[in-house]
Amino acid sequence: MKALYVNHGLGTQCGVYDFGKRQFEHLRKSTLLTATYAECNSAEEFRARYEEASPDVVFFNYMPIVMPWISKEAVSRCKAKKVVVQHLFDPTTISLIMDSYSGIFDYMICNDPTIETQDKRIFVVSRTIGCATDSSTLDDNEEIRIGSFGFGLPHKNFHLIMRQINESFDKAVFNLHMTVGTFTGDYTEPILDSIRAEITKPNIRLSHTNDYVSEQEIINRLSHNHINALLYELPPSNAGISSSADYLIASGKPMLLSNCALFRHIDADIPRYPNSNFKEIMDSYEHHQNKVIDVRSRWSNAFVSDIEKMLQEIL
């Protein structure tokens, strides 16, 4: 069985692009298919790569902003099963979204385990989770390291993380890996200013990096923190799932999340802000770390199994 995975090639500093690369790498672990990867920015590029690969199934890592060339005409010569990787959706209208793809895509996969649907065209699959390869242990004599990462956007509330650090500890560092995305705009300075404004203690500090590194390097950096956090604001109702939380799980370290719907796929007993805080997590550190490791263990190989079940059904 042969598969072609189509990603965009408009710029690597993009969450959708990274998601596609990660999903393809997990597809390659399947023993049921041979997967080929292609970055396409036009219908002509896609047709050429399709003819080269001659696949049984094509996965499209699709969002309109990164694949504006997708249309019925663009895929009209594609005789393989066409599967869209859906990023944004309202769980209550997921079938209507699939209806809008009529004549373009045959099936949809949603990496959201909270979705419930009877639509035979839609397959709910697990998240793709990596694992830290370079970690660190907790040392009582070290300063507390709280981490976060992501493209610099105001709704991510990085300043709230610093506020919690400042309230919880007398000596700690906020390790923030914040970059500028291809499609995000640059809000770096006002965000950094808002973070620094939360510091009122002499031994609380910010460490900011902005180099664009591999997914594995991000996970490894997060694994060197004692706790990692994402305190996003609530998104629109049609929002998908945030992949950022998946990186935190891969790090194997305790995490603090907001009640944002982007994290609805994360187990309910993972600490949530404002009901929990960094001090409480540190006081029961091993307990909270084991919860994260348990999630990582359960998800690590589930995606490939879910995809193989889907392929056996549709091919």
Query: What's domain 2-127+301-314's architecture?
Result: 3-Layer(aba) Sandwich (3.40)
Domain ranges of the chain: 2-127+301-314, 144-298
Structure tokens at 160: 């709230």
3-state class (DSSP) for residue 60: strand
Rg of the chain's alpha carbons, rounded to an integer?
Answer: 21
Which pLDDT belongs to residue 140?
A: 62
Q: Which residues pair with 81 in a beta bridge?
A: 57
Q: What is the DSSP string of 71-139?
A: STTTTTT--SEEEEEE-S--GGGHHHHHHHTTTT-SEEEE--TT-----TTEEE-PPP----SS-----
Q: Does this chain's domain 2-127+301-314 share its CATH topology with 144-298? A: yes
Whole-model pTM: value is: 0.85
Query: What's the pLDDT at 311?
Result: 95
Name residues of the chain where pLDDT drops below 70.
11-12, 136-141, 182-184, 235-239
- For the stretch 166-218, pLDDT in tens is 999 999 999 999 988 766 678 899 999 999 999 999 999 999 999 888 889 99
- The pLDDT of residue 261 is 84
pLDDT at 223: 95
Say whether 142 sits in a helix, a strand or coil: coil
Quote the CA–CA distance of 145 and 165 in Å, as a whole number.
Answer: 9
Class of domain 144-298: alpha beta
Q: What is the pLDDT of residue 237?
A: 54
Q: How much is the pLDDT for 248? A: 96
Q: Which of 294, 62, 256 is nearest to 174 (CA)?
A: 256
